Amino acid sequence: MSGEAPGSARLVLAPNVVHLDPAPAMFTAMLESWAHQQAAQFLQSDTIRARLRLIRRLEEFTGLYPWQWTPQEGEAFISHLRAPRPGKPKGMEMSTARSYEVTITLFVSYLLDPRYEWVRICLDRFGEVPQEVFHEGNSVAHTVDFEANPSRRPLAYDEIQALFDAADARPARIRSQGRKGTLCALRDAAVLKVIYGYGTRRTESSKVDLIDLRRNPKMPAFGPYGSVLVRYGKSTKGAPPRRRTVLTVPELDWVTDTWDYWLTDLRPLFSPGRHPAAWVTERAGRLSPRSINEAFTRARDDAGLEPSLDLHCLRYSYITHLIEFGYPTQFVQEQVGHSHGSTTAIYTAVSNDYRNTLLEAAMRKRLGGDWDVTT
């Protein structure tokens, strides 16, 4: 048995056992063995669980098992998810459809791999074998790099200010109403400012510890807040979290005052004890990514901004504004932890004012310093 590949059918199917209802038992064994195969690739447990949930959804929708699926079942499943429903008036996003199709294709490809013997076992027990569900003719074509909702965009400078003003006003409003939550509202305002100040993702922000705040010897004016070590950056398939150090930039140096106010005046009021997290809850636990999302949503709604804007738009804004400040693309790429410059470019949406400034500079260089934009 030690020579079997992780995910092999013989590792999960007991020999000489006859099930009273063999089809569900076979399906369960397939999922269990596929989970083993993915774990052997060092995929995150959350990723594995999400993939298994999707395969179960397809089985429940079709009422059929994997060896009975055809392309028609896959097409009907995606069509069903595309239909408008409560909370999703536009149905499923294209990027989500692609993700689902890729996951289902991975599962079927695993079953068809002769190293795992599922084809032979299905043929012996049911007289049917799995087949490809999605192919070039019925799957989302990958024609562009960016398929997310176009309403997710960088915030303009005045929108950033409106968001922060709304977050700052919330504690006083809660206090005037005699409700609990003033301290948490103060924390939420601080965490939103820091996320924009460093362009971090929600999980990265949640997992920042006090020890991750570092001095930058080249920028002593920033004190202990010269940089933030991100130890839980977004990982690639089968890889551990990627680390990076995000430097505090002079244009956003106000973020050091935010750090100092939070760590010196506010955080001790939560009585965190020896908890290592930079951002803590009223129960002395680590602030969760979901709570950070909710803080953004409240501030966004209070500021009257578009409901389609989400927390990740602060990261879009950070990238765009660094470009507008004049930082090279390579520097911005390293700040935000992108493996490729093309990814950074996708996130960038500079303003017309910035582009006009570049255009004027180019014209002056070409036509001379006396060139007038009005002529």
Delimit the domains of the chain by residue range: 9-126, 157-310
Assess whether pLDDT exceeds 50 at residue 1. no
Would you give the DSSP letter of residue 178? Answer: T
Are 238 and 229 in contact by the 8 Å Cβ rule? The answer is no
Name beta bridge partners: 229: 245
Are 61 and 80 in contact by the 8 Å Cβ rule? The answer is yes
- Burial of residue 107 (CB within 10 Å: 0-12, 13-18, 19+) is buried
Contacts 24+ apart (CB under 8 A), 109-112: 110/7, 110/34, 110/37, 111/30, 111/66, 111/67
Compute the mean pLDDT over every residue in the chain, rounded to the nearest whole number: 86
Distance of CA 353 to the CA centre of its chain: 30
Q: Which of 181, 155, 183 is nearest to 305 (CA)?
A: 155
Mean pLDDT of 95-109: 92
- Would you state the pLDDT for residue 310? 93
* Region at 180 (left for phi over 0; alpha for psi -120 to 50; beta for the rest): beta
Assess whether pLDDT exceeds 50 at residue 143. no
Assess whether pLDDT exceeds 80 at residue 341. no
- Would you state the pLDDT for residue 145? 46
Q: Which of 17, 108, 99 is nearest to 64 (CA)?
A: 108
Mean pLDDT of 91-116: 90
Structure tokens at 212: 């991750």
How many residues are given for the chain? 375
- Burial of residue 178 (CB within 10 Å: 0-12, 13-18, 19+) is exposed
Are 222 and 253 in contact by the 8 Å Cβ rule? The answer is yes
- Would you state the pLDDT for residue 355? 59
- The CATH number corresponding to 9-126 among 1.20.120, 3.30.230, 1.10.3470, 1.10.150 equals 1.10.150
Q: Which of 328, 322, 333, 324 is nearest to 357 (CA)?
A: 324
Q: What's the Cα-to-Cα distance from 224 to each of 217, 254, 270, rounded to whole Å?
A: 10, 14, 21
Q: What percent of the chain has pLDDT over 70?
A: 80
Structure tokens at 198: 């460093």
Domain 157-310, CATH class in plain words = mainly alpha
Assess whether pLDDT exceeds 60 at residue 142. no
Name beta bridge partners: 227: 214, 247
Mean pLDDT of 265-271: 96
Are 315 and 234 in contact by the 8 Å Cβ rule? The answer is no
| Same topology between domain 9-126 and domain 157-310 | no
**Banded pLDDT at 24 (limits 50, 70, 90):** very high
Query: What is d(CA 234, CA 308) in angstroms, rounded to the nearest whole number?
Result: 23
Assess whether pLDDT exceeds 90 at residue 49. yes
Question: Which region among 50-54, 139-143, 234-238, 301-305 has the lowest average model confidence (pLDDT)?
Answer: 139-143
- Would you state the pLDDT for residue 363? 55
Contacts (Cβ under 8 Å, ≥6 apart) of 304: 162
Assess whether pLDDT exceeds 50 at residue 2. no
Per-residue pLDDT reduced to its tens digit, 179-197: 999 999 999 999 999 999 9
From the CB of residue 72, how many other CB atoms can be counted at a distance below 10 Å? 11
Which helix (H) or strand (E) element contains residue 84?
A: none
